Amino acid sequence: MATTAELFEEPFVADEYIERLVWRTPGGGSRGGSEAFDPKRLLEEFVNHIQELQIMDERIQRKVEKLEQQCQKEAKEFAKKVQELQKSNQVAFQHFQELDEHISYVATKVCHLGDQLEGVNTPRQRAVEAQKLMKYFNEFLDGELKSDVFTNSEKIKEAADVIQKLHLIAQELPFDRFSEVKSKIASKYHDLECQLIQEFTSAQRRGEISRMREVAAVLLHFKGYSHCIDVYIKQCQEGAYLRNDIFDDAAILCQRVNKQVGDIFSNPEAVLAKLIQNVFEIKLQSFVKDQLEECRKSDAEQYLKSLYDLYTRTTSLSSKLMEFNLGTDKQTFLSKLIKSIFISYLENYIEVEIGYLKSRSAMILQRYYDSKNHQKRSIGTGGIQDLKERIRQRTNLPLGPSIDTHGETFLSQEVVVNLLQETKQAFERCHRLSDPSDLPRNAFRIFTILVEFLCIEHIDYALETGLAGIPSSDSRNANLYFLDVVQQANTIFHLFDKQFNDHLMPLISSSPKLSECLQKKKEIIEQMEMKLDTGIDRTLNCMIGQMKHILAAEQKKTDFKPEDENNVLIQYTNACVKVCVYVRKQVEKIKNSMDGKNVDTVLMELGVRFHRLIYEHLQQYSYSCMGGMLAICDVAEYRKCAKDFKIPMVLHLFDTLHALCNLLVVAPDNLKQVCSGEQLASLDKNILHSFVQLRADYRSARLARHFS
């Protein structure tokens, strides 16, 4: 194969190169099998190829040396050329510096010459201008205006410039000698000013922005320039208030004027600010006054709603206007305009709010009690009432007569929602209408109204009435509706707490009033929880009392000591059945009336009292063998009932009681073994002995010896 430099270009793999060489050599590869393989031919090919590679290497080496020599020669030539260029660059830089110095010298001379020319030309121009003014002044002295400037109506711009300068000069002249000419100049000044304003007005009506800009530029140096702005503002508002919404109309007007005012006046931000001031102080103030004064004294609710709505819409308009260029401090400017409109209404806003909220809350409550045909009784306060409350809390004695409320809780979610809605709206108005420094204090005052009417006048009154309606524990067939009061009071207080967090907290969160509100809320909660606890405790006592009545009426001595031991057909006593039905009903009522851990707490207390009642009840009877079996069946049924409590402790108590009842039927010889069993081993020996004493065979079987 021919050897060329291209064969060794990257990527070069030596093994592949050898393989290709062998494959192309006749007798060197695997073609034709082992018989066709010729090692001598292959060796000869390798030797020849190596010689070719050596020759090629020498040729390439000579070429590399030649190129290196050529590169070195060119590098020397390039270095020499760079040195020559550096020398020529230095010469050019020196020439540039000389030229720069010369230009600076010439420029200095030109500036000096220009100053000299200006010094000569400026007095000349002033002299020419003064001559013209003297000429025009003479015309006023003669009383006849002949110049084309004054007679040609198309040169009103030039005439305005002249008369404005003459007017300034006339003010410096003594009145006694030049009174007549001064009055003529002033009259012409006034006429031209009126003509310019009239021209501006006509151009505005025609919509000629360029002409308005020209006239405004001329009037800029006249005293009537502000009148020109007033005319522009007045005409802008013609036909602008055609919709029913003055705030939308005002926003659209300001947007329209903002787009064109910069093309007309040299101070557009001042003109736009004056327009906005005019809109606020005339249009909006008049509109707000008409809306509020009508209902200020006659309808507080409508007055507060209108005030809130108008103030909100005004501040919303102000926010839209903030995007315009009104000068440096537009925030303060707009705030002052809003304050000027509403200051007389905001000063006493909170007093109106508090007065309305009190009367509205009182009306909502009174309307509710009237619908129930209920006359609210006064809840006593002071030392005697406090003493009664303490005695009632410690003894559960029903101090004073029990009130029959016929199952009415005197709590209404509709009333609560109405009160909270009124207060929510009051908080929203307070947030919007109160000064930031007064906001926490005003919000706290609204909160105290809510506490007074919702928590005290409604919830607390219902709790007091509910407590007074709880019968004594020895009453029969008592209607225990206080749990309904508990259920509704919990629901209502959740709503109260939600409004506290959602609407009051944001208004007072960064002020000292926060701790005051939290403390007041805590006191209200504690006060209500105390009354709820008292009512629940007395209700539980009534439940136990009802169970006592059932047991006393239904349980007979012969139940546990039947005359015929062999003829007992019942599985458990009638008293047990009725008590269990009653207990299950009360457990369900408690679960429906409360939530969370309160359910477990109350059920555990009821379960403990229920267990104590059954324990003491069983202690009143003597038990035969069959009667003991019936007692065990009764307790097993009570235990099933206790499972509904889903309180481990209560179930454990009844398990233990069930084990104790086994002592009533166990064989005398096994008594000691049963007493030392797993469930009874931890009980006091006296308790075990007391149960064994209830057996009818206690004396005959000499069971006392097991406890001696």
Length of the chain: 708
Residue 329, sorted as left (phi over 0), alpha (psi -120 to 50) or beta, turns out to be beta
The whole-number pLDDT of residue 161 equals: 59
How far apart CA 531 and CA 465 sit, in angstroms, is: 11
List phi, psi (to 5°) of 623: -120, 125
Q: State the greatest distance between any 2 C-alpha atoms of the chain, in Å, as a whole number.
A: 159
Look up residue 12 and give its DSSP letter.
-
**Burial of 401 (C-beta count, 10 Å sphere; 0-12/13-18/19+):** exposed
Per DSSP, 397 falls in state -
Residue of higher predicted confidence among 171 and 669: 669
Q: Where are the beta strands (DSSP E) in 118-202?
A: none
Closest CA to 696 of 672, 674, 664, 667: 664
Helices vs. strands in the chain: H and E counts, helices first: 26, 0
Percent of the chain topping pLDDT 90: 30
Q: Contact 257/272 with Cβ under 8 angstroms?
A: yes
Alpha helices in 555-647 (DSSP H): 574-593, 597-618, 625-643
Cis-peptide, bond into residue 11, ω within 30° of zero: yes
pLDDT above 70 as % of the chain: 80
* pLDDT 10s digits, 383-434: 444 455 455 444 545 544 455 556 688 888 999 999 999 999 999 999 999 9
Token pair of 630 as six digits: 């019936």
Q: Using alpha carbons, list the distances in angstroms from residue 204 to 105, 123, 619.
A: 55, 41, 109
Q: How far apart are CA 232 and CA 30, in angstroms?
A: 108
* Residues 6+ positions from 441 with CB-CB distance below 8 Å: 513
Q: Name the one residue in this structure whose structure tokens are 């709603």.
A: 305
Tens-digit pLDDT profile for residues 657-690: 999 998 888 888 888 888 888 888 888 888 888 8
Q: What share of the chain is helix, strand, coil (3-state, %, to 5)?
A: 75, 0, 25
Rounded Cα distance between 319 and 339, Å, is: 15
Stretch among 166-170, 374-378, 498-502 having the lowest mean pLDDT: 166-170
List, in sequence order, every beta strand (DSSP E) within 269-412: none
Q: What is the mean pLDDT of the chain?
A: 82
Positive/negative CA dihedral, 485, 486, 490, 496: positive
> Residue 114: CB partners within 8 Å, gap ≥ 6?
none
Out of 1.20.950, 1.10.20, 1.20.58, 1.25.60, the CATH code matching 562-706 is 1.20.58
Residue identified by tokens 């851990």 is: 597
Give me 112's structure tokens.
């000096």
CA-CA-CA-CA torsion sign (584, 585, 589, 590) = negative
Residue 131, pLDDT above cutoff 90? no
Token pair belonging to 505: 């907290």
Highest mean pLDDT among 2-16, 261-275, 533-547, 661-675: 533-547
Q: What is the pLDDT of residues 585-603, one digit of tens each?
A: 999 999 988 888 889 999 9
